[in-house]
Structure 1
Amino acid sequence: MSDYQQLHHVSDDIGPIFVLEDNEFRILSFGDNDEQSKILKAQPHVPQHTYIQAMLAVLLFSKPKSAIILGLGGGGLVHALRRYDAAIKLTAVELRKDVIEISKRYFQLPIGKKLNIVHQDGGDFLANAEHKRVDVIFADMYIEQGVDEKQLTTEFIENCHKGLKADGFLVLNCWKEHSKSELLKQTLSQHFANVYATLTGGGNWVIYASKQPQSFSAATNKQHLQQLSQQLDYSVSRSLTRFTQWE
């Protein structure tokens, strides 16, 4: 990322945090050649990473009134969800205090009464269960080395299930290699009625787990896809070219 200039740098107990930018984009990075978050400064609501675009495809199957985001980063999911529906009650949980401050200062985080930001480990937040059940949980807990392994554990999956309403969805952002994990697949299948996934162009394996055995047929409904694409301001169908039931 040599074309970007460093705008901000801080370190905590976990490691360094950088904010980089050029004329168009701003990036949150935790190390060399690492992009945790990326926004288009003129249109921060349009997700720049394919995994965030894929995670938001859950909006084809759910019209949430509330959601939990585990892993705030630069606030890409918050921006897009606010664009989709400003009335959704969002709780964003972030382990690193400096990331919270940076998202506010450098990434145009849309602060308001409908957004509750919690400085806490996402797994601990779920385990404590001091929140109302929500419609969707977005799990996007990452460190410089990759996925936080905590979000792949049986305990984490169980706590996500408990934290969702009866018709709720868990959206889990993983890597391509996790598509080979029989243990993860079995754990999800034991707790959720229906599990689908998609492989993104960026090498992420995004999982959609539903508490109800409902159909995911809206993934092929052109009218619904077009409507959601207009709401989010990007083509949702591109995220679903490899959308399939995980079985």
Structure 2
Amino acid sequence: MAGKAVHPFRRRVRHSVDLLPEVEISESGNIRSLHLGSATIQSSMDIDDPADLVLTYTRAMMGFLLWQDDPRHIVQIGLGGGSFSRFIDEYLPDAISVAVEINPQVISVARAFFQLPEEGDFFEVIEADGADYIKMFRESTDIILVDGFDDQQIVQALTTEEFFEDCKRALTANGMLVTNWWSGDKRYHSFLERLLAAFEGRVIELPAATHGNMAVMAFKDTPNLTSWDKLAARADELEGRFGLEFGEFVRRLKEANLHSNNRLLI
């Protein structure tokens, strides 16, 4: 749900699993994109710079680095075209990253056309239901990235109270859940209420620059870094390391969340 485009070139990939959306690939210039049963772009890759986060919602989701810039273990629910996997491989090479994807065709297409990192000790793709898979963890993953859309909307199973409780249980003490939601979804506020309840109010919203996507971040425990001055200093440091617009992220956090003159209120 990161915008719509019709491209001059499109390759159709037939799926073999009932009820899962059809996977398509499009290309425009040096940008290759993945679609699930519609013209909506689910994931994009710059062929000349695969680690670059092309879509603004993927950049916003990496805003968690303001608080967790050296995670040891990351679970991605929803592989898509592998944007997070490539970024993590490039910029967080010491992190163990597991991508969980329910659609085997998405996995096949990502491996064949989207330059996924080599699978091994630090990166693995698992075909599974992410809502079930996360139940395996107990205080053992630092970051959970959830980007679960089908061909029509946010996947319902990734927005339930049970799922949020499972995610909270899976996280380490300073862990974070980061999920991509569509702010125009009529269910958005009910999703947010469930997440706030599960994480006892420790939730913030970071709007993406375009398309109405929202990176919603939930903290296992209250973060230490909430001062605007310290967040700005942190953003300046991280921009050089990761090449993302962290200063802009801080500005949007201030616009979108409860705050005082001095700090973000979490």
Normalising by structure 2, what TM-score? 0.84
- Distance change in 2, residues 1:233/1:179 (3 Å): farther
- Cα displacement string for residues 56-112 of structure 1 (whole angstroms, at most 9, x for unaligned residues): 010110121111000000000111122221110011000111111111110011123
Indicate the residue corresponding to 2:52 in structure 1.
Answer: 46
- What is the distance in 2 between the residues matched to 1:178 and 1:3? 26
Q: Does 1:34 align with 2:43?
A: no
- Distance change in 2, residues 1:219/1:147 (3 Å): farther
Indicate the residue corresponding to 1:125 in structure 2.
Answer: 133
- Distance change in 2, residues 1:185/1:215 (3 Å): farther
- What is the distance in 1 between the residues matched to 2:108 and 2:213? 27
- What is the distance in 2 between the residues matched to 1:97 and 1:218? 44
Relative to structure 2, which stretch is displaced further, 187-196 or 60-69? 187-196
CA positional deviation for 1:11: 2.3
Q: Does 1:91 align with 2:98?
A: yes
Q: Does 1:5 align with 2:9?
A: yes
Q: Give the letter aligned to residue 189 of structure 1.
A: L
- Cα displacement string for residues 116-164 of structure 1 (whole angstroms, at most 9, x for unaligned residues): 211001111123x167720010111111102111111101101101111
Query: What secondary structure, in the 3-state scheme, does the structure 1 residue paired with 2:110 have?
Result: helix
- Cα displacement string for residues 151-187 of structure 1 (whole angstroms, at most 9, x for unaligned residues): 1110110110111111110101111136975543333
Query: What secondary structure, in the 3-state scheme, does the structure 2 residue paired with 1:143 have?
Result: coil
Contact 2:207 2:213 in 1 (8 A): yes
- What is the distance in 1 between the residues matched to 2:241 and 2:114? 21
CA positional deviation for 1:19: 1.2
Aligned-pair identity (%): 24
Relative to structure 2, which stretch is displaced further, 163-172 or 11-20? 11-20
Matches within 5 A, 1:73-222: 73-113=80-120, 114-127=122-135, 129=136, 133-177=140-184, 181-193=188-200, 194-200=202-208, 201-217=210-226, 221-222=231-232
Contact 1:47 1:80 in 2 (8 A): yes
- Displacement over 6 Å in runs of 4+: none
Relative to structure 2, which stretch is displaced further, 41-50 or 189-198? 189-198
Q: Which has the higher strand share?
A: 1
Contact 1:60 1:218 in 2 (8 A): no
- Distance change in 2, residues 1:36/1:68 (3 Å): same
Q: 1:241 aligns with which of 234, 243, 251?
A: 251
| RMSD value, Cα | 2.3
Indicate the residue corresponding to 1:69 in structure 2.
Answer: 76
Q: Give the letter aligned to residue 257 of structure 2.
A: Q
Q: Which runs of 5+ in 2 are unaligned?
A: 259-265
Relative to structure 2, which stretch is displaced further, 186-195 or 57-66? 186-195
Contact 1:179 1:205 in 2 (8 A): no
Contact 1:195 1:245 in 2 (8 A): no
Normalising by structure 1, what TM-score? 0.90
Q: Give the letter aligned to residue 127 of structure 2.
A: H
CA positional deviation for 1:35: 0.5
Relative to structure 2, which stretch is displaced further, 174-183 or 53-62? 174-183
Query: What secondary structure, in the 3-state scheme, does the structure 1 residue paired with 2:239 have?
Result: helix
- What is the distance in 1 between the residues matched to 2:125 and 2:131? 15
Contact 1:83 1:231 in 2 (8 A): no
Q: Which runs of 5+ in 1 are unaligned?
A: none
CA positional deviation for 1:17: 0.6
